[in-house]
Structure 1
Amino acid sequence: MSGSTQQLVGLFPLSYRIGTSAPGAQSLTLNLLVFTPEQSISGTAIVTQAINPPLDLQSDVWGEYTYMTVMSPAVSKILITAQGNHGGPTANTAVNFKLHLVVGSDWKEGVASYQYLNGQSWVSVNNVPAHLNEPVQSRFFPPMGPGPVILPYPPIMPLYAAPIQSAIASGDLAQMKHLAGLAKQQLEQQPQLQSALEAAKGEISRLERR
């Protein structure tokens, strides 16, 4: 991860509320899974607006994130780019959603610009605030926010429990298959993760003895 100040390991969920508080303004809810080994993201986007008839556009989204490192004293940022449709990247459906989201290095606050296809025309919403919602909750595990995920035991359940439960409950076959693929990749990387953890412990001990 060029330009990052720390090595992130694993997969974690994020949920953003994007929009202003102005009456009648559009609102975007962005639910993402961040897969750090590939710097990729996937999830859902829901654009709503209290108009007549009400706007309610839902898309399956996918994309990537990159670190934008700048010279001190400026603050580094993270750029998330995504697109969406009905069914995900393997579905034979047209793209109906595009996003550029810039957040701080802690993933909490930022500014977004997005486009969505409303009937036959594209609608653009530019430079609106983005706020991180409370961490995704699981019935079986405590909440986990974004950040390093390095565990001595298989991380598959705490990392994937809430998203997989949600996909099963919704009956979304494409999303369940996508999450199952990510889970398999995470399990296959477990030996490398354990080795990296041992190396980190050794480096911590060496630095603490100074």
Structure 2
Amino acid sequence: MSIGLFHTRLNVSNHLLGAPVLTLDLLVDTVKKKVSGIASIYQSTYPPLNFRARVWGEYAEVKLVPTAESHIILTLAGSPSGPLSQIAQTFGLKGILGGDWASGYADYKYQEQGVWHYVKHAAVSQAPVIVRPEHPHHAVPLYAVAVQQAQTSGDLAQLKAVVSQGEQQLAHSGALRNALDQLNVEIARLEAR
């Protein structure tokens, strides 16, 4: 287990077709034995469910004497707006996990439209970490109006000024460098007229 802060993402499910699946995105503070994050419950069957709460809690490490295996006892509470809010809790979880935070079992409850729902003895497993690809920011829309006006009016000085401004602001971006190179080619073409 890591020391300090680490992130873990867990799925909690009883693996029945159409049953709710709880995903916990947790930040674990091993020094204070505190946990905080987001709980999301999704169910695709009728009635559909898309529950979300901010969660907080604590954990304790327990070592089993005969095998020296380490287990984690995890307790979480949650509400839509966090622990300091005056909004009543809408989520609770108690579970026992392996020492690696990757497996175990948990009981949890959540409140949906004023009714508490209970899920008992659901399996805990490591959830895939979602990596969102970075979408390159294209500079063309930022300067498109100025470039179009300069091209329409044939004002070469204005077009050069736009390119110079873009070069100064965005000199280190590869995608933007390509766009600026294309503008420089357009300037050269206009100067050749």
Give TM-score scaled by structure 1 length: 0.59
Q: Which protein has the larger Cα radius of gyration, Structure 1 or Structure 2? A: 2
**CA–CA separation in structure 2 for the residues paired with 1:49 and 1:132:** 19
Q: Give ranges in structure 2 of 5+ residues lacking alignment.
A: 135-193
Give TM-score scaled by structure 2 length: 0.64
Tell me the alpha carbon deviations over residues 14-64 of structure 1, each in whole angstroms, 9 at most, x when there is no partner.
000110332111110111000111110000001121233311110000001
Matched, 1:65 2:65: no
**CA–CA separation in structure 2 for the residues paired with 1:88 and 1:42:** 9
User: Which runs of 4 or more aligned residues in structure 1 lie more than 3 Å from their structure 2 counterparts after TM superposition?
Assistant: 134-140
Corresponding letter in the other structure for 1:128: A
**CA–CA separation in structure 2 for the residues paired with 1:105 and 1:138:** 28
* Equivalenced residues, count: 134
Q: Percent identity?
A: 32
Decide whether the 8 Å contact of 2:23 with 2:127 is kept in 1: no
Corresponding letter in the other structure for 2:73: L
Q: Give ranges in structure 1 of 5+ residues lacking alignment.
A: 1-5, 141-210
Helix, strand or coil for the counterpart of 2:31?
Answer: helix
For CA contacts below 8 A with separation 6 or more, give which structure has more relative contact order: 1
Decide whether the 8 Å contact of 1:80 with 1:102 is kept in 2: yes
Map 1:1-210; keep pairs closer than 5 Å.
8-73=2-67, 75-135=69-129, 137=131
Corresponding letter in the other structure for 1:16: L
**CA–CA separation in structure 1 for the residues paired with 2:132 and 2:6:** 12
**CA–CA separation in structure 1 for the residues paired with 2:31 and 2:132:** 23
CA RMSD after TM alignment: 2.0
**CA–CA separation in structure 2 for the residues paired with 1:43 and 1:13:** 9
Tell me the alpha carbon deviations over residues 81-126 of structure 1, each in whole angstroms, 9 at most, x when there is no partner.
1000011111121100000121111111111110011222211101
Q: Which has the higher strand share?
A: 2
**CA–CA separation in structure 2 for the residues paired with 1:41 and 1:138:** 24
Structure 1 residues 86 and 34 mapped into 2: Cα distance closer, same or farther (>3 Å)?
Answer: same
